[in-house]
Each structure stands twice: as structure tokens, then as C-alpha cells.
Amino acid sequence: MNRRQTIPKELRYTRNQFDKDFPNDDVCLEQIKQQRWPSGMIYCATCERERKHYRVTGRMAYACDRCGNHIYPLVGTIFQKSTTPLRIWFQAMYLMGSTRCGISAKQIQRETGVTYKTAWRMFNQIRKLLAEDLRLEGYSVEMDETQIGGRRRKRTMYDPQNKTWVAGIVERKGERRVYATVIDENTKKALQDIAHEKILPKSVVFTDDAAQYHGLDVDYHHHRINHSQGVYVMGNVHTNTIEGFWSLVKRGLGGVYHSVSKKYLQNYLNEYSFRYNHRACGNLIFPLLVERASQPELLKPSEPAKRNLPA
């Protein structure tokens, strides 16, 4: 076992650093404001031009230095109308970003003192921000499908109604990103529609020998590994990369969350995919989460908030 720190110094972000950088709600609000308006100049709807704004004491707002019109940096974000202190939101994002396999809402409840209902809602809101609309650009990719779920209690036989089909694609070279999604049924149309949407034409695609992948060779250079005959690697033909990702997801869900319903499974897949795609960031995933949480365009903003969105 390697007893030394394996994360490079420039990619570390410890709990002590977090506590120093974000000691209270005021600092967290200023960080969100800087993320939304990096130049420091904010458009004032009353003055109809960009002006400096200053913090309003006792409110989550900033006022125009000329006319006093208020803007609210939290409008349109996951923090809007939340009574939970902003620093607890940041603490939840830090804990989510610093773990390798996920963290449960019960653990957040113990760490922060909020109720379980509040902790679960916070995590669900954060996971909604982690969806990435990817177009995989690697020259060669692997594609596979699997089922996630377990046996129902007091049932010893296989029960397909308790499992959910998911499909995934991963790049072999380049950034080696992954895309995973819930599918309603494991059919040829469902899988190949995903392939044509996410994989560039003429790419090299590696799959197993499932019948659903028959016909991919029309648009791609398709190679198949014969799992049904017990063959799992033949030269560079295999699906071990995507199966390794499925292993991370299943071990994480089973070990941390224990059970996930189909309704929210996509949010958990987004979390594991985001962490996998940004694994080279070390412990700097937290700043990425703050950046995404500060982008109102990732959520549907309310009508009155649109005038305060950055240009």
C-alpha cells in the first residue's frame, strides 16, 4: 500500500483550505457573484447600463451604486428560495466533490446537522447540475448496456421488474470521457439511437455480441467480442473499459446508497459520470461544482430573474 499522498500538490484541496476560503455565508455569496459576473460590472435594469454594485447588509442582494436597484445572485440557481445556509450548501458540494465513490444524505445530515429531508434535497439539486451533453470525439469507443437494481425482499428468483436498463459509451483515448443514460428497454432501436446521437460517424466501436448492436457497421467500424463463448479479450477488441465503469457505479450505489429508484437513477449516473470525466482534477472537483451551481442557465430561471442574468 502506498502510504504517501498520491494526489499532486497542485490538485489538492483539503478541508482546512475549504474552511479558510469559505468561513461564512457572506463569502459564499461573494463567490457566486464573482462566478456570474467575473468583470465586477453588473447590468442595472433601471440605469440600463452596467454599473458597480455593492452588498446590501442583512440581505442576499447587491445594490446599484447609482440608483440603488437590487440584484439577487441566487435567483435562478439551486440556492434560490432555500432557507438552508449557503455555507452548508457549499459544504455539501465539497464533500460530494472530494469523495471517490459518493456520499450519502445520511452522512451529510450527520456532518452538517440539517434534517435528512433537507440533505437529500440538496444532493438531488446538485446532481441535476452534473448532466453533461457530450458528443464523444475519441477515434475508438466502447459501448455496453447493463442492468442496475437488486432482488426484492423475500424473493430468491430473478425478477427483471426490479432492475433498470442503462446504456453507456466510453472513449478509449483522448479525454476518455463516459456517457451513461437510463433506457426504457434494451432494444436495437434504443441502443443504436444513442450510438448515432453520441458517437461521431466512422468511429471504431467495440461492443459485445448482443443482437441489439447488429447493423452498427453501416455507419461505424464495428468490432465485437464474443462474450457468449467466454471470450473477453482478443487483441484490442474488448469492452473492459466500460465494464470497469459499470463496476464503479454498481459498487458505489450498493455500498453508499444501497438502493436507487428508476425515477432518480439518471441523477446518480450523472454524478458518477461527472466524477469519472473529471478524475484528472484530483480534489479540485469542488470548484467545478461551485461554477456549475452559479450558472442559472443550467436551470430554468423565473421570469423576473431574466433581466439580472449575465450577458
CATH class label, 140-277: alpha beta
Dist. CA 173–CA 286, nearest whole Å: 25
Q: What is the mean pLDDT of residues 7-34?
A: 91
pLDDT grade, residue 89 (50/70/90)? Answer: very high
Do β-strands 163-171 and 62-64 pair in parallel, antiparallel, or remain unpaired? Answer: unpaired
Q: For CATH 3.30.420.10, list the domain ranges present in the chain.
A: 140-277
pLDDT grade, residue 152 (50/70/90)? Answer: low
* Contact predicate 123/92, CB 8 Å: yes
**More confident of the two residues 207 and 153:** 207
Q: What is the pTM of this model?
A: 0.85
**More confident of the two residues 102 and 24:** 24
The answer to whether residue 5 scores a pLDDT higher than 70 is no
Please work out, in degrees rounded to the nearest 5, the angle formed at the alpha carbon of residue 94 by the alpha carbons of 92 and 99: 100
269's grid cell:
449516473
**More confident of the two residues 135 and 290:** 290
Residue 156 is predicted with a pLDDT of 55
